[in-house]
Amino acid sequence: MLRTFSQTAVHPNPRAGGALTVLFSGQSQTEPGHRMGPQKLDYVLIHTVIDGEGWFRCRDKHYALGPGDSFVILPGELHTYQSDESRPWRYRWIAFRGTEADRWLAAAGIDADRPIVRGGDGTALKAMAAVEKAFRRKEWTSEWEAEGWLRLAFSAWAKANRPGGPPSGQGKPGVAAMEADRAARWLEAQSAHSVSIARMAKELGYHRTHLTKLFTRELGMSPIQYLQRLRMERAKTLLLEPLSVEEVALSVGYSDPLYFSKSFKKLTGMTPTEFRRSQGG
pLDDT of residue 82: 96
Cβ 78 vs Cβ 40: under 8 Å: yes
Say how far apart CA 5 and CA 193 lie, in whole Å: 36
Identify the three-state secondary structure at position 27: strand
Among candidates 214, 233, 230, which has minimal Cα distance to 222? 214
At the second CATH level, the architecture of 186-278 is: Orthogonal Bundle (1.10)
Say how far apart CA 17 and CA 98 lie, in whole Å: 7
Would you call the peptide bond into 166 cis, given omega within 30 degrees of 0 as the criterion? no
pLDDT of residue 171: 45
pLDDT of residue 281: 64
Ranges in the chain, pLDDT < 70:
16-17, 166-173, 281
Among candidates 126, 51, 123, which has minimal Cα distance to 90? 51
Say how far apart CA 51 and CA 30 lie, in whole Å: 10
Any idea which fold 5-161 has?
Answer: Jelly Rolls (2.60.120)
Among candidates 76, 72, 54, 73, which has minimal Cα distance to 64? 54
Cβ 263 vs Cβ 228: under 8 Å: yes
What does 133-183 look like in DSSP terms, one character per residue?
Answer: HHHHHT-TTHHHHHHHHHHHHHHHHHHHH-TT-SPPSTT---HHHHHHHHH
pLDDT of residue 12: 87
Q: How far is CA 72 from the centre of its chain?
A: 6
Per-chain mean pLDDT for the chain: 90
pLDDT of residue 167: 65
In sequence order, what are the beta bridge partners of 90?
Answer: 29, 51
Structural domain spans, the chain: 5-161, 186-278
Strand order in the sheet with 61-65: 35-39, 79-83, 54-58, 61-65
186-278 has the same fold as 5-161: no
